[in-house]
Amino acid sequence: MVDEDVAPDTDDVERVRVAVYRTFAATGHPPTRDAMAEATRLSRPAVEEALTALAAARHLVMDDDGRIVMAHPFASIDLHFSVKGRRALWWGGCAWDSFAIPNLVPEEPEVLVATTCPACGRAHAWVVTSHGPPAGEQVAHFLVPAARVWDDVVHTCGHQRIFCDERCVEDWLSATGHSRGSVFDLATLWRLAAHWYDGRLDSPYVRREPSEATAYFAGVGLTGAFWGLPD
């Protein structure tokens, strides 16, 4: 029987985190529990404890059945973006995450990101590389402010989308009744994604503190209350 008052070993948690992320990066899918146990040499109960700890620390998102839904920038569900590399095909967790993958996975420095405009349904695709932003007049619209991202992270990621232009953003806001969030160009989206996940496939990995996150946003040109910064 597992003692629920005893926290899992931090080394075990980190080993499971690395197994999840590296499997996602290599295959486009999360590992099974058996695969995690084999890769980490941990028991199934120890793997479960580690996954629970990782979800609590916001390294993973799991559904009510314990399935891994997201390990940013990777997802196991369709959140409107596909990301095709030479060796793997991923669901991108959102616009931000989709543009991050070629910057995070060294074996895939160039990917094809595809999506549709939420307003008009027009298909869009870009070759996104680790060297610089793709050309395009499209704009990203993020609905949920940075401070509220984890209130419902799947909802948040599902509303970090790319639109044809500002007019499509306004049409969508009018149709849905949502308030305008943050709108910015593809170059800014690429800068946001480029180094946000640095080190996530390595070990040990240390998450940014809130002050470091806001400094990062400012450094890529995102300011204002939406991003927790002055205008």
Instruction: Report the pLDDT averaged over residues 94-111.
Output: 95
**Which of 171, 178, 107 is closest to 142 using CA atoms?**
178
pTM for this predicted structure: 0.93
Q: How confident is the model at residue 207 (pLDDT cuts 50, 70, 90)?
A: confident
Q: How far is CA 223 from CA 44, 151, 152, 157, 172, in A?
A: 44, 21, 23, 20, 23
Mean pLDDT rounded to a whole number for the chain: 94
Given a cut of 80, whether residue 226 has pLDDT beyond it is yes
Rg of the chain over all Cα atoms, to the nearest angstrom: 18
Given this model, what pLDDT does residue 8 score?
66
Given a cut of 80, whether residue 2 has pLDDT beyond it is no
Convert the pLDDT of each residue in 114-160 to its tens digit: 999 999 999 999 999 999 999 999 999 999 999 999 999 999 999 99
CATH of 10-71, picked from 1.10.760.10, 1.25.40.320, 1.10.10.10, 3.40.50.300, is: 1.10.10.10
**Which of 186, 168, 182 is closest to 120 using CA atoms?**
168
Domain range 79-206, CATH architecture = 2-Layer Sandwich (3.30)
Q: Are 93 and 73 in contact (CB under 8 A)?
A: yes
Convert the pLDDT of each residue in 156-178 to its tens digit: 999 999 999 999 999 999 999 99
Given this model, what pLDDT does residue 7 score?
55
Coil, strand or helix at 45: helix
Name all contacts of 166-175 with Cβ < 8 Å and 24+ positions apart. Answer: 166/139, 168/117, 168/118, 168/119, 168/120, 169/119, 169/139, 169/141, 171/119, 171/120, 172/118, 172/119, 172/141, 175/119
Instruction: Beginning with the edge strand found earlier in the chain, give each strand of the sheet holding 160-163 in spatial order.
Output: 160-163, 139-142, 182-185
What are the structure tokens assigned to 160, written together?
């970090």
Residue-range domain boundaries for the chain: 10-71, 79-206
Instruction: Report the pLDDT averaged over residues 53-60.
Output: 95
Given a cut of 60, whether residue 210 has pLDDT beyond it is yes
Given a cut of 60, whether residue 102 has pLDDT beyond it is yes
Q: How confident is the model at residue 4 (pLDDT cuts 50, 70, 90)?
A: very low
Given this model, what pLDDT does residue 3 score?
41
Q: Do domains 10-71 and 79-206 have the same CATH topology?
A: no
